[in-house]
Amino acid sequence: MTELETSEITNEEKVVETVDDLILLAQNYLPAPSLNIVRKAYEFSEKAHAGQIRRSGEPYISHPLGVAAILAELKLDMPTLVAALLHDTVEDTSVTLEEIDKIFGVLISRLVDGVTKISRIKFRNTHEKQGENIRKMIVAMGKDVRVVLVKLADRLHNMRTLSHMPPSKQALIAQETLDIYSPLASRLGINTMKIELEDLSFRYSQPTAYYELAQKVAKKKKEREKYIGDVKKILFAEISKRTQVQVEVQGRPKHLFSIYKKMQTRNISYEQVYDILAFRACVQTVQECYEILGIVHTLWKPIPGRFKDFIAMPKKNNYQSLHTTVIGPGAERIEIQIRTFDMHQVAERGIAAHWAYKESDDDDSDAKDAGDSSQAQKFNWLRDLVAMHQQTNSSDEFLENIKSDLFESEIYVFTPKGEVKEFPDGATPIDFAFSVHTDVGTHLVAARVNGKLVTLKHRLKNGDTVEIMTSKSQQPSKDWLKFCVTTKAKSKIRAHVKAEQRKKALILGRELVEKSLRKIGTSPNRLFTGPEYEKLIKELGCSDQDDLFVKVGFGTVTAQNIIEKLQPQGIPPSLEKENEENFLQKAFKAAVQRTKKTSSLIRVDGMDDVLVRFARCCTPIPGDSIVGYITLGRGIIIHRADCSKAFEMDQGRRIDVEWNTNYPKTSSGRLVRIRVVGEDVPGLLKDMSEVFTSHGVNIHNAQVRTTKDLKAICSFDVLIRDTQQLAEIMTGLSKLKGVIGVTRVAHSTL
C-alpha cells in the first residue's frame, strides 16, 4: 500500500505565464523584500536567455519560470525560487558563477552550481555522464537539500513539455525519470511530484499501454465518482454518530502508473484490479487516528495482512499514516488511510513541508547557507548516499547503487533490545550488521533470526528479531556483495575489498620494482628522486611512491616503463627481454597470443588481435557502450557499460575497449533476446516472423507462452548485427497490431 495517489490524465498545474503570476503565487507566504529579489532574478535570467527558444517555440525563459512556479506551489523559500530562475544561466549562457555570487550572494551561487549539469566534462559514454550528473546532485544535496528540489522541479517541467521532443528522446528521458527522479521524489516524500512524474513517464515510455489504460479508466468515471461519494457519506455519517472528532474525508482513484504496476506485478488485467480506490480521513491528533481506525474496522470487515501502522513506524521519507484495506459497500475492496493534517502536509510536500523560511539580513549567513542541514538529517538515507559517493570512484557503480537504493520497498525488523530498523525488501543479516555499525558488519561471522542460527544470505522478513555475532579475525568477503542490498553495506564492503586489493598490489608492485632495479644496480631510494621522478608521478596521477607501486601491482604501468622514463640509457638488454609481468599483464599477453592474427570485433588499446569473450549476462552487440575485464586464461571479457554484473568485478582488472569499425559488415551478428508481449490473437506470430525476415535476421530460438488474461509472451533469440538493426526491428515489432510492448532482455543465458 502506498500514499494516496490521484489518477488525473491531464496536468492541473497552475498556469504561470509571467513573473507577475509567479509573484502572485509566492506572495501568499513570502514577504515583500523576498519577492523583490525573485523579480530581480527573473529579470536577470530573462536578459541572459534573450534570443533563446525552446523546441516548443516558446522563449527559453518560460522554462525557468515554470520550474520556479512548481517550487512556489510547494511553498519553498526565496533562495530556492531564485536558484530555479537562474539554474540554466551558467550552463546555457555566458553568465558565470562569479557574476551570480556578486549579484545574488554565495548561497544562491552554490545552489545554482549544485543544479548545473556538468556538460563541459567529456565522458566515455552517456551512461557515465548520467551517473556523474546524479553524483554531483547527491553531493550538493548533502550540503543543501534545496538543490535536489530545484532539480526535481526542472525535470517535472521538462516532462510536462516532453511532447515537443523526438519520440526516441521521449522514451530515453521518460525511462531515466522512472529510474531516478520519480523514486527520488518519493524518497523525499513529495508525493504530488512523484505521482505526476510517474504518470508522465508512463505516457512517454509506453504510450500504447498508457492510452489503453486511460481509456478503460475513463469509461467507468461516472460510476466511480458515485461510489466514492456514497462511501464518503457513509464514513462521515458513522464517524459523526460515534464521536465528536472533526474529520475531513476524501476519496480518489489511484493514478495510472500505480494501477499499471499492479497489473504487471500480479500479471492481471485492468478488470481484475479491485483495489483502485483510496480514501483518506484527516484528523487533528494521533489519538483520533486510532479512534477512526476502530470505527472503520467496525463498519467494514478488514482484509487480514493489509493493515500497516506508519505512525508508529514512519517510512524513511518521514511519511506517517495508518493504512488499512477493507471490504466496502458492494463487496468492493477499498483502501483507507488515516492521518493528522500535519502528517498530510508531510505526505504531500515531503521535505518541503519541513522547510522553515528564515528572514535574515545577510543572505550568506551560516544559518541560511547550510540550507538548514538539520532538515536533511531527518532523511537518514541521504547521509548514506553522500557516504557512498565518497567511497565510490566509478560513476557507473554509483548510478547502479542509487537506482537500487531508490527503488526499494521497506521491511521492519527489530534488534534484541526492541529497536525498530527499516530495510529494503530482500535485506540480509549483512545489511543489518552494517546498519548497527561498520565494525559490526566488518567482523560479522553469524546471525540469529528469532533465536535460530541462519546463513548470512538469509532474507529478513517483517517483524524478525535479529542478533549479530562477531569475531575480530573476520573480514568482509567479496561474495557478500551478491546478497546484501543496502547502499551502506555495499559501499563499506567494496571499500574494504578495494583496500585489501590495494595492499596486495602495493606488495607485489614494490617487489617487481625492487627486483628490476637490483638488476641495474640501483634502488627506489636512489632512482626515485629529482625533477624527472616528480614529473613522472604527476603524469601517472600518483601522490607518492606507494601509489606508483600500486599501479605497477595492478598492471597499469610496468617496472620497465618506469626505468625507461627515469634512466633511459641505463637498461641492460637482458632486462628488456626479461618477462617481469604481473598477473594482469600475463593475462593480457596470453589473450593476445591465443588469438589468430585476424581482424577482431573488439579493439583493445588500438589492437584488434586480442582474445575476447562476450559476457552472457548482458549480451553486448556493436553500438552498445562497453567495458572489458582482464581474466586469467580466458582473455578479455566484454560487458555492456550498464551491466550490473560488471559493477561487482574487480575494477583493477578493468580495461578500455571499443568496437572495431573495420570489422566486416558481412558478419552474421550476435545473439540477442527480444521479448514481445502482445494480445493472444491469430496471425500475430506470423507477422512478427515477417518483421525479422524483412530485416534479414535469422531466428535462432523462439519460445511462446500465453497467460490467463489472453496475453502472448514471446521470446526470440536472434542474430543481430548492431544496435541500429536492433532498434529497427524493435520499432517494426512495436508497430504490429496486437503488440503491447517490445523489450531487449538485458540478462539472459543464450
DSSP lists the bridge partners of residue 410 as 424
Which phi and psi (to 5°) does residue 715 adopt?
Answer: -120, 125
- For residue 214, how many other CB atoms are within 10 A of its CB? 17
- For residue 386, how many other CB atoms are within 10 A of its CB? 16
Q: Report the distance separating Cα 676 and Cα 685, nearest Å.
A: 10
Cell 545574488 found at: 104
Q: Report the distance separating Cα 238 and Cα 218, nearest Å.
A: 30
Report how far apart, in Å, the C-alpha atoms of 717 and of each of 672, 701, 744 are. 6, 5, 10
Cell 569475531 found at: 471
Residue 652 has, within 13 A of its CA and on its CB side, a CA count of 22
- Whether residue 92 lies in the annotated active site: yes
**Among 13, 46, 58, 92, the one annotated catalytic:** 92
Cell 519577492 found at: 35
User: Residue length, the chain?
Assistant: 750
Q: Report the distance separating Cα 495 and Cα 68, nearest Å.
A: 40
The DSSP H or E segment spanning 309 is strand 308-309
Burial of 336 (0-12, 13-18, 19+ CB in 10 A): buried
CB under 8 A, 24+ apart: contacts of 320-325? 320/346, 320/347, 321/3, 321/347, 322/289, 322/290, 322/293, 323/1, 324/293, 324/296, 324/297, 325/1, 325/275
3-state secondary structure 702-749: EEEEECCCCEEEEEEEEEECCHHHHHHHHHHHHCCCCEEEEEECCCCC
3-state secondary structure 627-691: EEEECCCCCEEEEECCCHHHHCCCHHHEECEEECCCCCCCCCCEEEEEEEEEECCCCHHHHHHHH
Which cell is 598 given? 585476424
Which alpha helices (DSSP H) does 362-475 contain, by range? 366-369, 373-377, 380-391, 395-406, 429-436, 438-442
Q: Report the distance separating Cα 435 and Cα 584, nearest Å.
A: 36
Which residues have a Cβ under 8 Å from the Cβ of 271 and sit 6 or more positions away? none
**Among 91, 230, 364, 578, the one annotated catalytic:** 91
- Whether residue 225 lies in the annotated active site: no
Report how far apart, in Å, the C-alpha atoms of 352 and of each of 80, 142, 185, 454 are. 11, 15, 11, 42
Q: Which amino acid is at 344?
A: H
Closest of 704, 703, 706 to residue 680, by C-alpha: 706
For the annotated catalytic residues, the residue numbers are: 91-92
